[in-house]
Amino acid sequence: MGLKLLEQIKRIGIVPVIQLERAEDAVPLAAALCEGGLPCAEVTFRTDAAAESIKKMKADQPDMLVGAGTVLTIQQVDEAVAAGAEFIVSPGLNPDIIEYCSKKNILILPGCANPSDVEQAIKYGLKAVKFFQAEAAGGIQTIKAMAAPYTQMKFMPTGGVNESNICDYLNFDRVIACGGTWMVPADLIAAGEFEEIRELTQKAVQNMLDFHLAHVGINCDSAGEARRTANIFEQLFGFKADENSASIFSANFIETMKSPFLGTKGHIAIAANSVERAKTYLERKGVVFQEDSAVYRKDGKMQAVYMQNEIGGFALHLVRNPKLP
């Protein structure tokens, strides 16, 4: 169960960290997060409204992944789980809470900031920890340094993570997700500005995924037609042709196919920082993918996958951002 939840968190990528003073704000806030593209929340036990807020969120958005944060006692674990929390996050490494959650088969992400903490987490059989306070503790460079000797441990940095540095964290494959508050500022929650929170959430998701055009594929009937087409792009615009067995790339962003390929007219490749996260995000919008079209790298990451339906006569596929390792 814990590994499945970790994979869900990883596919979402960002865990909004929320402090709710009023439980009545939970439902519109949950809706704003889900509509914005982040069906996940860590509701902190810093206020008396935490448990009731979790309960309301899960009742209104049953598919939303809701956890409890700033959990300091076993009693709070019980309150959170009874309210519907699916995972527990603590600011530090508390052996009592870890042992209790492990016995109850509850996913626990304890706060760790140094190798000694990580070794204790490994001792308890944990596969992932919260790296807290992330920026104050040295940021992504500290995570990379700690990750080197502890090859099986994953990290969820929280504290100081924002839209300007989140991709630095998420582009490291040992980071499963990031916790953050920038899309759920306390003043907007207090003012009931949930539409603005939805917009901030949507912006955070777009920033994380970084959708952009990778290349356009043009279907040609023959290798000769493909070469003639590529020559035109080179003569007019100076786009150098790079030929392979199936196609010719012009300046890396126009691909002329040597024979008809997917799509009535051709195909369009949309790059994303993570194909897995982008696929999950689009599936929530109703997009269906051709699962048998998925291509994987040697490290197990998805490199590309096609959508099932054409748009404007073009097949569409996601591809991993070529600028990333």
pLDDT score of 308 more than 90: yes
Fold of 2-208: TIM Barrel (3.20.20)
pLDDT score of 2 more than 90: no
CATH pick for 212-320 out of 3.30.420.40, 3.10.180.10, 1.10.606.20, 3.30.950.10? 3.10.180.10
Q: pLDDT (tens digit, 9 = 90+) per residue, 107-158?
A: 999 999 999 999 999 999 999 999 999 999 999 999 999 999 999 999 999 9
User: Of residues 56, 130, 258, 279, which has the active-site annotation?
Assistant: 130
Using only C-alpha atoms, the chain has a radius of gyration, in whole angstroms, of 23
Q: pLDDT (tens digit, 9 = 90+) per residue, 251-305?
A: 999 999 999 999 999 999 999 999 999 999 999 999 999 999 999 999 999 999 9
CA 40, CA 36: separation in Å to the nearest integer? Answer: 11
254 Cβ contact list (under 8 Å, min separation 6): 215, 216, 218, 230, 233, 239
* Domain edges within the chain: 2-208, 212-320
Q: Token match 């010719």: residue?
A: 248
User: Of residues 10, 42, 79, 154, which has the active-site annotation?
Assistant: 42
Is residue 104 flagged as an active site residue? no
Is residue 258 flagged as an active site residue? no
The secondary structure of 16-41 as a DSSP string is EEE--S-GGGHHHHHHHHHHHT--EE
213 Cβ contact list (under 8 Å, min separation 6): 253, 268, 269, 270, 271
Amino acid letter for position 12: I
